[in-house]
Each structure stands twice: as structure tokens, then as C-alpha cells.
Chains A and B, each alone.
Chain A
Amino acid sequence: MGYLRRHPRAVPYLLIAPGLIWLGLLFVVPLYYLLSTSLQSGDIYEGFRQTFSWSNYSEMASQYRPQLVRSIQYAAIATLAALVIAYPLVYFIARRGGQWKSLLLVLLIAPFFVTYLIRTLAWQTILADEGLIVGVLRDVGLIADDGRLLATSFAVVAGITYNYFPFMALPIYVALEQFDGRLLEAAGDLYANPLKAFLRVTLPISLPGVFAGTLTTFIPAMGDFVNAQLLGTPKQYMIGNVIQSKFLVVVDYPLASAGAVMLMALILVGVFLYARALGTERLTG
């Protein structure tokens, strides 16, 4: 304690040291090894040796381009869908929730504490060929008699949208919640037109939340493989499926690592642009 009194500047460094050392050893260093592994070559019989070969990247980019492109597409559609569903919903809670606000928020979040895999399996039941939803859609002619929802792109995107929903909803809610309701009333008087009031006042205020939400939804969605595996077919496989299969089943560590590095690189570029636009403080705040 005496030391701390004499060196108050040391305090923050002592506070962050354990955590940062942990993250350094188990987050930063592993990324280095991932990069290093991606440049190795060999096979499981001979072992993998460092050869600084970039061929894993070219193989990934050429052979698995469809999965890479699909990951971006699915993640983008799912992010958009989540935004469209989440915005009005959290707007409702924030603005019209009244005394029920906290309870509604609990109902919004609680489902996502239920184990991810159980939720996804529930969608398997909901979307099944012989299930209720497909039956209704068939009856009203929205899908053909031999049509299906399960094992299609729709099912995969729907699963992703659902599973990452809170990542979209919460930041928007926080942004909306921060602003004073009277502001909107004043805007309502000023603009007369509710749509105009929304566009000129509410939307700009919620925009940081929307930005944060889209990013925190898009990133995990890009790397997802569980939804494609449980709700899709090989035609819906994403880059995550390739990485996990190459790593854990085929045991081609260098190729798998190259895939993971490429995925991470794409995301880092996105985060970098985002950080530039908003400043790092906002990101953890």
C-alpha cells in the first residue's frame, strides 16, 4: 500500500496487468500461432513443418470461394433481417414499454440464455417438412407441395438471424433508451409528421446503436457453422463449416488455419474502418 501511495501512476497498470497478460497469452499469441500454422505444410503422417508457403491461402481462396462468398451473403442478409425485426421491437419497448419496460426486456433477452444448440434444434422442429409452418405455407400456396423450409438457405439464414438477434437488439435499445422522450414530443410538434420526426430525431439518435448492432451481429454470423450444419445442407455450408471440418475432421491444420486467418482478416478490416469512424472508446463503452 505504501508503494502505491508513493507511485499512484502504477495503480492502473497493476490493475490491468493480470487481465492483459491473460489476453496476450491466450488471445494474441494464439493468433500468431494460427498465422504461423497457416504457412506450414505437410500431413498428419509426416507432421507439419514451417515452410512459409502461401499455397494454403490460394487453395482456400480458389477451392472454397463459394463458401467464403456465401458466408458474407448469409451474414449480410441475416444482419439486415435482424435489424428489420429488432428495431421496431426495441423501439416499442423503449418508447411504449412504460412500467412493463424491464419485464419486456427480460422476455427479449432470456430466450438467448437457453443453450444455442437447443435453440437451433428447436428451429429444426419448427421448420420440419411435416411441421406446422410448412403445412400452413403449403395450404396457402406460398410453397409448393413438394417444397420445404428445412435444409434450405432460408432455414440457415433464419437460424442465424434468430441466434444473433440480441446482438442487434441490445445496442439499439441502449441507444434509444438514452434519449429523452420529451425530445420526440417536441420533434412531433415541430415536424407535425411522425415519420419526419422519426427520420430527423429518433433515427439519428439510434444510429450509433444500429452501427454497433450490425457489427456485433455480422461478425459472429460470418463465422457461424452450426446453423448451416443443423438447418442446411452442403449447398449451404459456410466458411466456418470448412474451417471446422479441416481442423477437426480432415486434420489439415495449415489449410484450416489459412481459412481462419482469411476470415479474421476480412473482419479486422471491417472493425478497423468502424473504429476509425467511431473511436475506440465507443466500442467498449
Chain B
Amino acid sequence: MTELNRRQLLLRGAIGAGGLASMSAILAACGGGGGIEGQTSEQATEAAASVERTLADKFVLSNWPLYIDIDEETKKSPTLDGFTAETGVPVEYLEDINSNEEFFGIVQGPLSQGQFVRDVAIITGYMAARMKDLGYLEQFDLESVSDLGNVSIPAPPWNEGFAYGVPWQSYMTGLSYNEDKISSVMSVEELLTEPALKGKITLFNSMGDTMGLLMQDAGYDTTKIDPDQFDEQLERLQKAVDDGQVRQFTGNEYTGPLAKGDLWACMAWSGDIIQLQADNDKLRFTIPDKGGQIGTDYMCILKGGDVYTSSVFANYVLDPKIAAQLSVYINYVTPVSAAKPEAEAIDPAVSENQLIFPDEATLAKLQEFDPVALNDQTYNEKFQAVIGA
């Protein structure tokens, strides 16, 4: 992979700032004493029937930290600059998503009140499904996303024809360990019970990742969740928490302590570890033999976002050249398999990497967690109770 400019990594770690746009909010008392308004599914269906195909003056994109390409010298994203050069639309780029749930909590209020928040946000499949149900997403103008044919992963049921979400990157959830501290950690069982790891591990605060790996470790199917199996594995998780084995449940924030050596092993996202190896070459990523999880993050148009500009942007990043440029830098799994030869031209090592361009054998070990279960309140509450949130 390309040698990352280390200081640049630091700069990219910054979270985007919100503009002053919300100045317009004024304390306008407007009744509604009966409770806090919810969203109805009728509102959800009124989608973009006819699209006016003119580009907006500005494109606002919300993304996760370290989830885009950054040129070492100019310290700008070639992909975003390329988009602006091609369309003339400047991009306001915000790295303000740290967890799906938290981002949902932030935008839920404004979206339910019909306020413009962002044009496009990059969110994980199950959360996109939830936001679609709540009527918080606009449909893409699919005619303007002609490169959708390049997408090599199937469209999930909630997202027929990728109308509500165009794939950005896929990610694998597996295990990581620090070779300096422990020789190897190959299974979830080892992670949860190895005495040497007591208080030295973290798991994810996202249910699909943590419960997915536990259930796969027990040999269960995670694409369709069985309540008894779920409860059984939740108990196992509770025990690991009670024993003090688990230090913390985290989102992105496991990366610091892992790179620093405070964590010896943890559940991890593939692309993070590839990037962290630039800081600490003792870190290893492994997909457990019993299997790992795969998930996909989608570009979604938030209610009130500009549909045409967003669709043009989605189309732009699906171009194999751009997709390759992105994956060489961010090291996650690209949904555009045609990007592989392009990536090879930029950096052969990346195209060989199983974690970035996984082959059939690797893909066979991966499962996607049941999206219905992910949006099920009962499962979520049980899980939240165990992780103490």
C-alpha cells in the first residue's frame, strides 16, 4: 500500500464542523402539546417522482473519519476535487459520523421537522433501512446513476435496485491483536476467555458486529436470527462482561488504545487495522475460522438533500477508476469489483490484499447480520442492557 503521510492521517482525523446555517431556527411555539411528533410511513412514500436535473450550488457530504482518500501533498481528497472539477459543484465535506446510532440521534430531530441536514450521509445498511422506513431518505434518480451496473454486490430487500442507498464500501468485522502482547487470537472464544486478555479487550457497541461474531463462533446462522440462540449468546457476552474480561464497548474509538498498546486484542474493522498498521506494525487482523461479519455502508440522500446532485456524485464514485483510487487509500472492500485492475495499476499490493479485494474463499467465511433483527427493539434493548448503555 502507499506510504501514508503520518501527519496527514492526523489531519484527516478531524471531524467536520457544522456551518452556521441553522441560524434560521427560531423559538416558534407552535402547539403540539400532545407529545413529540413521529413519522408516518405515508410520508416515507412520497418520493422524488420527477427530478429537476440541474446541479445544486453546493454538495454537503457527511462521512466517517478516515473514510475517504487524501492526497499527501495537497491534503485534499482527489475524489472530491475531481467531482468538483467535473461538475463545478463545491463539496462541503464533514467527517461527523462516529456511530450509526449517534448520527441517527443527531439528525433524527431536524429530519423529523423537515429541516435540511446534509445532501448525502454514508451510513450502514440496517440504519439506512430504518431511516428509509421513517421517511428520512430521498430516492436516488437512478437514471443519473448509470454506473450502478458496476456494483458487484446484490441489492438487499429494503433497497431494491439501490434506490435508497448506493454502496460506498463494505467492511469486514473480525479480530485484531497486538503481536507484541499476545502470540495470536484466532477465535471469539479465546478473546472472551483467555485469562491473559482480562481487561485488555474491547468489543463493538454495535449489536450486529458483536453478536454476529459471537453467534458465528457458536456455529449459528446470523443472516436470520433465532431468538433463543441470540439469548444464549447474549448470556455468554454478559458473563465476559461480569468477569471483567471486556474493558469497553466502542465504536471507532478502539483504534487509539489498540495502537497505543493498552488493548491487546479486540473486535475490529478490517480497513481500520490496515491503516493502523502504518502506526503499529505489530497489529494483526484475522477473520475467525468460524466466520466473520460483512456489512455495507451506503450513500443515502437525507430528506431535503438535492437528489440530482447526489445522484451525479454517487455515479461519479462508482466509476472503476475512482473506486480504485478510493479503495487504495481507505483499504476497505470496494463494491466495484471492476476496480481491481485499476487498483493494481496504482498499487499491486492492495489488489492482492484479501481484506480489500477478498476472493471467493474469504467471502465464503463472511455473513451479513439479519437487518430485521438489527432494527428490532427487543433485541436492541437486551443488547444495550448488557453493554450498559
Contacts and interface: CB of A to CB of B under 8 A. Distances in A.
Interface in B63-109: 99, 101-102, 104-106, 108
B246 interface: yes
Contact of B108 (A37, A48, A237, A251): A251
Nearest to A39: B35
Interface stretch (B36-44, B163-171, B212-220, B339-347): B36-44
A49 B39 CA distance: 13
A250 B99 CA distance: 12
Interface stretch (A100-108, A144-152, A190-198, A262-270): A144-152
B387 interface: yes
Interface string A203-243: 00000000000000000000000000000011101000110
A37 B36 contact: yes
B224 interface: no
Nearest to B388: A234
Contact of B389 (A128, A146, A245): A245
A44 B34 CA distance: 15
A48 B262 CA distance: 43
Contacts of B260: 128, 130
A130 B99 CA distance: 28
B38 A237 contact: no
A45 interface: yes
Contact of B101 (A129, A241, A249, A253): A249
Interface in B248-302: 248-249, 260-262
Contact of A130 (B35, B39, B105, B261): B261
Given A45-B134, A148-B199, A251-B104, A233 B38 contact: no
Nearest to A41: B35
A250 B389 contact: yes
A247 B34 CA distance: 19
A150 B261 CA distance: 13
Interface string A44-79: 111111100000000000010001000000000000
Contacts of B133: 45
Interface in A121-137: 128-130
B389 A48 contact: no
A212 B260 CA distance: 42
Contacts of B377: 43
A247 B108 CA distance: 11
A150 B248 CA distance: 11
A42 interface: yes
Interface residues on A, range: 20 to 34
B35 A44 contact: no
B384 A47 contact: no
Contacts of A4: none
Contact of A237 (B106, B247, B389): B389
B36 A253 contact: yes
Contact of B387 (A42, A50, A234, A251): A234
B385 interface: yes
B381 to A, nearest CB: 8
B108 A44 contact: yes
A248 interface: yes
A42 B377 CA distance: 12
A40 interface: yes
A146 B198 contact: yes
Contacts of A242: 389
A48 B36 contact: yes
Contacts of B108: 44, 251
B35 A250 contact: no
Contact of A45 (B39, B102, B241): B39
Nearest to B108: A251
Which of A45, A128, A237 has its CB near the most chain B CB atoms (within 10 A)?
A45
B36 A234 contact: no
A235 B35 contact: no
B35 A234 contact: no
A63 B38 contact: no
Contacts of A234: 241, 246, 248-249, 387-389
Which of B133, B198, B262 has its CB near the most chain A CB atoms (within 10 A)?
B262
A234 B389 CA distance: 7
A233 B248 CA distance: 5
Contacts of A42: 35, 38
Interface of A: 37, 40, 42-50, 63, 67, 128-130, 146, 148, 150-151, 233-235, 237, 241-242, 245, 247-251, 253
Closest 10 A/B residue pairs (Cβ):
A47-B38, A234-B388, A248-B105, A49-B35, A48-B36, A129-B262, A48-B35, A245-B389, A249-B101, A249-B105
29 contacts: A37-B36, A44-B38, A45-B39, A47-B35, A47-B37, A48-B35, A48-B36, A48-B38, A49-B35, A50-B34, A128-B260, A129-B261, A129-B262, A130-B260, A130-B262, A148-B199, A148-B262, A233-B246, A234-B387, A234-B388, A235-B241, A242-B389, A245-B389, A249-B102, A249-B105, A249-B389, A250-B101, A251-B105, A251-B108
Interface of B: 33-39, 99, 101-102, 104-106, 108, 133-134, 196, 198-199, 241, 244, 246-249, 260-262, 377, 380, 384-385, 387-389
